[in-house]
Structure 1
Amino acid sequence: MASKEPDGSKARETREAKESIRQLLSKLEIDQVIEVKDWLAKYVESTPSSEITFNYENEQKKKMMDRGARKLDRIAAYLRDKAVDVPSKAPSKLRWPTEGFDSDCTELNTCEVDSFLYEDDDVEELVERDELSRTYCPVCSSRDTVPLNFISHSLSRLQVKFLFDLLMPPTCQHVLDIGSRLGAIVYGASIFTNGNVSTIGVEMDSDYAALALRTIRQFGLKNIEILRDDIRHLAHVFKDNQFIVMNNVFSFFLSKTEQEECWEFLHTHMRPGTVLAHHPPIEKITEHLDLSFDIEDWLEFVNTTTECLEYGANDSEIYEEMASICKYIVRDSRAHGDSVPE
């Protein structure tokens, strides 16, 4: 059987490597060339291939991530063109928290701007066009004097890239996005893994779920399932080797009792070893809830300072944006003598 011909890109890279080596050898005497030849043969034979091609693999991954980021930009533009979640235009469907971490947010003092759709430059443009204000008057409700709180119920495109570049372990085979909303996480999961992990998005809002399905078809994204349901009805979606993403999906949408029920459900059904990425810290958004367990006993916090520095070492705002995503690993409750559901 004839050997498979290398693709054009690999053939070009091979020719360029040979030419570079030829030029290097041309600067040496023949005994030095023979010494280099013997060294190279031993080096290739004794060194793991992953070490030899380390820089190449990193460069290929960077190119893939950059292509993925551009595709996410196109998806965001597609959704903006459909006038999805235009800031300050649609009446709020939120249940404004009266207790806990987000209780300082009200319909009067808070503006919801979806970070997946609108980056900082987009927001500035909306402000300049007088389509959005950063301030309001607490007396007459006009937006001219006091800074507004800005909130988002989606992660930004850079945060989505960060999740699948540095936070999701390469061994994870399943992604679960709880509170999928516009689908930012499921799009990123498919794009940044080349569709090689099975991905489920759970979303209670039928309009958002339908929109995500249309977007998945429009962009040919693979290995994604969207479930329009309440996570409390879906015990079967929790699996081993799973990466779960949540962006404060309960605080602005459920009563205190319902939030407690959801966290109790997750505590029961998340498998040991599951990696959970949550924005913001779970400890803060649950501190006002009456739970039957301690978060610290259930979840092991993972320090991601190194990963955040890789993205934002020279930009404190980017660093803080990445650091706002907390990474946890579900502890094995059997170590504490508790039973684990089948």
Structure 2
Amino acid sequence: MDVPTAIDGFKNIISSLNNENSLHFLNWVKENINDLIDKQIKVVDHNSDIVLESIREDIRTLLPLNGVTPTEKICTPSVGPNADCESTTTEHIDAFCFNDDDIDDLCDEGQMSRNYCTNCGSKSIQPLTFITHSASVKEIKYIFRHLLGDLRGKTVVDVGSRTGALLYGAYLMSEAPCIVGVEIDPTFCHIQQQMVTKYGMKDRIQVFQKDVQQCDSLIQQADVLILNNVFEFFMPLDVQKSIWNFLYQNVRKKGSYVVTVPSVQESLQSIELPLDLDSWLQEIPTGEVTARANLLLYGDPVTEDSELTQIHLYQVK
């Protein structure tokens, strides 16, 4: 039964009752509606969690442990907070495919280590630097179940969609009718297409293998634009500046949202690009939303281990 048919059925029930009984029935609906909604949300959330976990398992079989494809080029940042990420002591890991518990299991199995020896043969060790270029499952839930509102009728665009994690999250956890991934790496695009086909998501998800600077029309129409660790480790400084200038010119749909990791301010400061942010974007405070999400996802509203605080939300002026 579809929603319009259900609505007609509900109206028919009301019309079939006399005035007194219909009032009793409507009062029952009023008293129980919140419990019914909560129960249905739990069912929907449970189903989406199962599908998301299945997709994670599938993608793990298609990628190496570090989540870097043979066709992908990693550029170690020369400026900014991650400029100290030396290639020999930095582990790339896909947070969507491998959470902390997964990494612990891999370490226990000897497939991965969290530390490196600073003087081979001694006990002088230092922790490896772990870098992820994908959103974790908790971050995905935060973005689509807590941070963003009703996405019915909206277009969501993820720039640098990699494995498609945020695309699947948007499909399973929102009613956005148009979800688009823009990814330049052919291996990742192939993986996304495989998952979209296998899990029946073609009706709302599209994946374009393109440089984002070739997608001006798409970017101009986006209601939600997601930029998750998207440029710093993959583009030289001159290309990063070019892309940010492109976004500055084309992300102009008034009232649309931009979700970023790290903040726009940090990204621009690192590449020394002085765009006029005050006339372009307004950052939306997320403290209360983050506290609620932390409570549900971590069991503590102020957990220090939460990765949610690094997610920033802006609205185009």
TM-score normalised by length of structure 2: 0.83
* Residues 118 and 124, structure 2, Cα contact 8 Å, conserved in 1: no
1:307 maps to 2:307: no
1:285 maps to 2:267: yes
Match runs of 1:107-118 below 5 Å: 107-118=87-98
- C-alpha displacement at 1:257, in angstroms? 1.0
Specify the SS of the correspondent of 2:270. Answer: coil
What do residues 80-109 of structure 1 show as CA deviations (whole Å, max 9, x unaligned)?
A: 123x13138977831000111221212122
- Give 2:184's aligned residue: 204
Amino acid at match of 1:210: H
- Give 1:242's aligned residue: 223
- C-alpha displacement at 1:75, in angstroms? 0.2
- Give 2:16's aligned residue: none
- C-alpha displacement at 1:140, in angstroms? 5.8
* Residues 88 and 111, structure 1, Cα contact 8 Å, conserved in 2: no
- C-alpha displacement at 1:286, in angstroms? 1.8
Unmatched 5+ residue regions in structure 1? 15-36, 332-342
Amino acid at match of 1:276: V
Larger mean Cα displacement after TM superposition, 49-58 or 157-166: 49-58
Match runs of 1:1-342 below 5 Å: 41=23, 44=26, 53-82=33-62, 84-87=63-66, 93-138=73-118, 145-171=125-151, 173-193=154-174, 196-221=176-201, 222-240=203-221, 242-270=223-251, 271-313=253-295, 314-315=299-300, 316-317=302-303, 320-331=306-317
- C-alpha displacement at 1:162, in angstroms? 1.5
What is the CA RMSD across the aligned residues, in angstroms?
A: 3.3
What do residues 276-306 of structure 1 show as CA deviations (whole Å, max 9, x unaligned)?
A: 1111222112213233523343221111122
Larger mean Cα displacement after TM superposition, 94-103 or 306-315: 306-315
CA distance, structure 2, for counterparts of residue 312 and residue 93 of structure 1: 34
CA distance, structure 2, for counterparts of residue 88 and residue 280 of structure 1: 20
Specify the SS of the correspondent of 1:67. Answer: helix
* Residues 68 and 92, structure 2, Cα contact 8 Å, conserved in 1: no
CA distance, structure 1, for counterparts of residue 105 and residue 179 of structure 2: 34
CA distance, structure 2, for counterparts of residue 80 and residue 144 of structure 1: 32
* Residues 113 and 151, structure 1, Cα contact 8 Å, conserved in 2: yes
CA distance, structure 2, for counterparts of residue 284 and residue 59 of structure 1: 41
What do residues 183-239 of structure 1 show as CA deviations (whole Å, max 9, x unaligned)?
A: 001111112235x42011000000100110011111111311100010011101125
CA distance, structure 1, for counterparts of residue 255 and residue 239 of structure 2: 26
* Residues 76 and 87, structure 2, Cα contact 8 Å, conserved in 1: yes
Paired residues, number: 297
Specify the SS of the correspondent of 1:273. Answer: coil
Larger mean Cα displacement after TM superposition, 297-306 or 55-64: 55-64
CA distance, structure 1, for counterparts of residue 67 and residue 166 of structure 2: 24
- Give 1:19's aligned residue: none
* Residues 200 and 225, structure 1, Cα contact 8 Å, conserved in 2: yes
Larger mean Cα displacement after TM superposition, 295-304 or 180-189: 295-304
User: Sequence identity, in percent?
Assistant: 25
* Residues 88 and 132, structure 1, Cα contact 8 Å, conserved in 2: no
* Residues 69 and 157, structure 1, Cα contact 8 Å, conserved in 2: no
- C-alpha displacement at 1:131, in angstroms? 0.9
Amino acid at match of 2:255: G
Specify the SS of the correspondent of 1:201. Answer: strand
CA distance, structure 2, for counterparts of residue 176 and residue 50 of structure 1: 38
Specify the structure having the higher radius of gyration (Cα).
1
CA distance, structure 1, for counterparts of residue 267 and residue 119 of structure 2: 29
Specify the SS of the correspondent of 1:320. Answer: coil
CA distance, structure 2, for counterparts of residue 182 and residue 143 of structure 1: 37
CA distance, structure 1, for counterparts of residue 166 and residue 67 of structure 2: 24
CA distance, structure 2, for counterparts of residue 151 and residue 115 of structure 1: 9
Amino acid at match of 2:141: K
